Structure 1
């Protein structure tokens, strides 16, 4: 929230470069802001920052007051600021004096976990190791915990979830294909933090996670040898859910050996290679408390990745635009070729009906070959394919919709093979308008661009 006075206002209040961030793991964070004005010659004279910790019922207490600081710089390192508390919500208030008057604004941020002790009894968990051979090595793993409570949860005021993920966590918050990386020169593991209110029910709850392979568990042979990197291992997760009640009580749900797992419907996922999704193996509502998991196996406790545990610093992939096809033709081999208006980084969403086991193959590329098909030659010598998705239909009789969750592609052209001949055309959606084609072409394709 910003304040304005005498023709200027304060905007873009940020903590550690982020607006209203969740999961700040810096005990003494940096603050910044912008002064916006049409007037010429305006300069900042001084500022004052106060930081208040917000309690479960909205009460607050001041943890730090910078006092009046004479400075023309709207970016500050607080210096002797007392370290903040882990897993707490804060409100910071800013008062700025300029050469043309003063203004005030407030914003909020939530701290994450500062050290191993803050993770409580949370443990790294996952499915079987590669050597155990229980499920196909490329399969995505679905982890689940049914978290029931005997007492009423009607007085829950907020809950905070923190997932240490390796390497990719299925959609959480407003991001998708959420990833973090481990590099030899900067060994660390990213934490994905989300904050929710009013999402817990009084008659039972469950947590569900579907893990992808990302760079950490890459199996696709490639010219960079990521598949043989020292950190390479099966995907694992570490979870801490903090539930705060209106009366001040705090409840925690952690990942441990009581969780269960099952092989997911994603039989293959690779950042560069693409995904294979078998809808016949899907577990609808796997994160719902009523989902039957009696045949699921217990998770295994894993060592987890090495390196420092830090808040994920890279921005998540977000859908910023939806495009409809510019042209749909056929190649000499009979494949459908879908052309989009420009080269994008994203993926195609399919909506199709067909028989059980029918497979729709989608290959992505930035140009066409001499036969009119998608050119996949510039592929980094990936041994298990490049930028190709496969969608195996469950054959429900209804239209089935699917889009990849663990990869994105760079492309302008999409080659589609295996499109069921009896499939009627579907509505192609975009951000601005929609239309209903009359042909029996695969018009149900749409592209989603990432930021």
Structure 2
């Protein structure tokens, strides 16, 4: 009894079960889905010694229903373990659970069951046909309603619906909208693959009469995308495919399929739908009960069966876009010119839910804006051609509630015209939407401006991670610019779980990669101009490597490796025997600080584009070599390492002087050369000093653009200039990260001076106030200020390395890693540093205490040297370093 009591005092349990980076996903296409879990327990130093997995077709895990039973496996692995059981069947739900044994000899109970459900694994599993309503092939046209009535002959035990569209769809059964996703089926490289969604509709169907309805809009598929005349790029006609599979309690099965028996109409309430321009909705045209049984559709027209391929249909890889939160207006007021405006206090992405009562035929118009101009007027010039307008016509009678179906806006302010009566806060609600990624990180410090900066970074990510990593959410663009994505990827992975999000987008990148290996400016490639630019195309190598580092996802690295290699080979071909990528940089160091001096001076902060291209050539070859090494491709690892070294030598010869000066003599030139390891060791310190000299000459201001900014503070802290990095972080005047904060920004701006100190605006042709690239400073805040760094992929081994600055009283951060919560937080008061650290089970950590004397450090109230959970304790110059097992620790010492 005593031993049992001892065992249960410190419970060992399992949580966070995921399949393919998702919790209980439905519609998995992977033939060998990968499973992950986390450990929880009170014992210090908790590690997994062994595990067992069971997978069954029944949640009771009866032996007859088991399809995989590993038995006890001696291993500490708990992240992305591939299923190795019997072949998986289309449409089947599989339940799984885990048991673990700890290094202290304890055994957990079986975890609570989790599940995944397979999608339709073969094209011939689709019995449904693509159908298209009668439609006019026109830009910004109406949305379409499609329906079918049907009968079910028995009591329903299970029902699934598989739905996709060439366009965007909303799905209804018996008058009820199905699911909580929006903008389905998502934006993909449609020419290559279109996602479908799977819904459990068991509870929405009844014995007897039923009806199914589909609402179909243009979306990204048929809508005009970008600033060019490219309407209908993927197709001039919208269409839909749906397959409802029903199993009755007696075991019999039935199917309701899209086919020629459906009817459709364009005479619904949405008269215009457009991603950029908004939506026009006439409530008088709502066909009451159109998706319910008994509706009279005799005036609707038969649909056309289309011959589109089903082989390109794939289960949804992406994180679903959902309505995530709602905001009420902070204030409602009139501008000096009399415009009625509601201010939601936050630049956001989504739409407005309107509640209104009035006479039939009354029209309410809602326009959207990110900012007000210096006179306090509603400002929309930066939206360019995007109208971003909702027009709602009342049907009259009781209070009406409207929100759009197939459009979204980027806005903080709305201008309301035609509202009957007094506009009150309860009449307009901002609905925030984005890909519903789980939040994983937190950062906070004693400086309120930096906290607002972190807030802005997170909201910039929310607004621009809408199925693809867009550059901006408000104007006639909203495209998946590759350069922005690669610059921000590591920061994004601190704030939220972006594993599935980027896995999906990289699939699109690979699909839209040019035949010669080049990567277009935007993914999905709607510009179709075959342009490739250094720092943009390198998303093909940088993002897969970053994701491998953060999530330990070797499979993703393997899947993307051909794309990585094709891109490097493209550059290699362009560079030729000279190994210099001339003409490879279209955008240079985009939007660097560049006020022109007199006519005899070059733009300030300018970096030679050919040099940038050559540096990224070297870096991508280096990443490809590392990826080849991880994947066991030894010959290619050596080959691309040699390419990297050869380009590095050419770079030094062409662009570097013996004094460590680099051509262009710009901050970005030094930053990229140092970050990519392109300088010989004797010149690294000299080049770093030149970088610091430039920063000091500018009175502690940066001059970098999209390519140099993400690495700027890292390079400084890596070379002993952390104080200078803090100088930049804490700088409040233009150009700096905090300047927009002082101007009232609630998201990250596209330009350092999107709004000038006199409240006038930058170039109206390109001036987004929600543009996440410069938010990449968040990565340095997590990794250096708070000190959370990885030493092994997936954070299996962690480095805690805070670098405090006396100008901050405290800083703290946390990260929900693949193994559990990591935390590092320090406070500095009266010369004493207090550091609190949390290391999750099944990991190890190296902790580095800066400016510490080993003999004077206290750990958990006693001398560090006598603490049993630490090993390899040593004084290294002015720091104390040691290894730690999982647990929570507090350190105190005099910080000199």
Instruction: Provide Cα deviations, 1:307-364, integer angstroms capped at 9, x if missing partner.
Output: 7211122222222222211111113443210001211222111111223222111111
Q: After superposition, where does 1:358-373 map in structure 2 within 5 Å?
A: 358-369=362-373, 372-373=376-377
- Structure with larger Rg: 2
Report the number of matched residues: 415
Q: After superposition, where does 1:16-415 map in structure 2 within 5 Å?
A: 16-54=20-58, 61-78=65-82, 80-100=84-104, 101-103=106-108, 104-105=110-111, 106-120=113-127, 122-131=128-137, 138-149=141-152, 151=153, 153=154, 155-170=155-170, 172-183=178-189, 187-219=192-224, 222-223=226-227, 225-227=229-231, 229=233, 231-263=234-266, 264-304=268-308, 308-369=312-373, 372-379=376-383, 381-382=384-385, 385-394=386-395, 396-415=396-415
User: For residues 261 and 225 of structure 1, what CA distance do their matches in structure 2 show?
Assistant: 29
The aligned residue for residue 450 of structure 1 is: 433
- Is residue 187–residue 307 contact of structure 1 (8 Å, CA) maintained in 2? no
Bigger relative contact order (CA 8 A; separation at least 6): 1
The aligned residue for residue 417 of structure 2 is: 417
Look up the SS of the partner of 1:318 in the other structure: strand
Instruction: Provide Cα deviations, 1:174-200, integer angstroms capped at 9, x if missing partner.
Output: 22233412327x821010111133322
Higher deviation after alignment, 402-411 or 307-316: 307-316
- Is residue 86–residue 111 contact of structure 1 (8 Å, CA) maintained in 2? yes
Compared CA separation, residues 76 and 48, structure 1 to 2 (3 A): farther
Compared CA separation, residues 333 and 177, structure 1 to 2 (3 A): farther
Look up the SS of the partner of 2:214 in the other structure: strand
**What is the CA distance between 1:225 and its match in structure 2?**
5.0
Look up the SS of the partner of 1:410 in the other structure: strand
TM-score scaled by structure 2? 0.44
**What is the CA distance between 1:47 and its match in structure 2?**
1.6
Answer 1 or 2: which has greater helix percent.
Answer: 2
- Is residue 185–residue 194 contact of structure 2 (8 Å, CA) maintained in 1? no
Higher deviation after alignment, 346-355 or 256-265: 346-355
User: For residues 208 and 223 of structure 2, what CA distance do their matches in structure 1 show?
Assistant: 39
Look up the SS of the partner of 2:318 in the other structure: coil
- Is residue 164–residue 185 contact of structure 2 (8 Å, CA) maintained in 1? no
- Is residue 47–residue 102 contact of structure 2 (8 Å, CA) maintained in 1? yes
User: For residues 40 and 378 of structure 1, what CA distance do their matches in structure 2 show?
Assistant: 55
Compared CA separation, residues 310 and 48, structure 1 to 2 (3 A): same
- Is residue 20–residue 80 contact of structure 2 (8 Å, CA) maintained in 1? no
The aligned residue for residue 613 of structure 2 is: none
User: For residues 9 and 255 of structure 2, what CA distance do their matches in structure 1 show?
Assistant: 44
Give the gaps of 5 or more residues in structure 2.
1-7, 171-176, 435-896
Look up the SS of the partner of 1:64 in the other structure: strand
User: For residues 167 and 192 of structure 1, what CA distance do their matches in structure 2 show?
Assistant: 14
User: For residues 225 and 305 of structure 1, what CA distance do their matches in structure 2 show?
Assistant: 27
Look up the SS of the partner of 1:46 in the other structure: strand
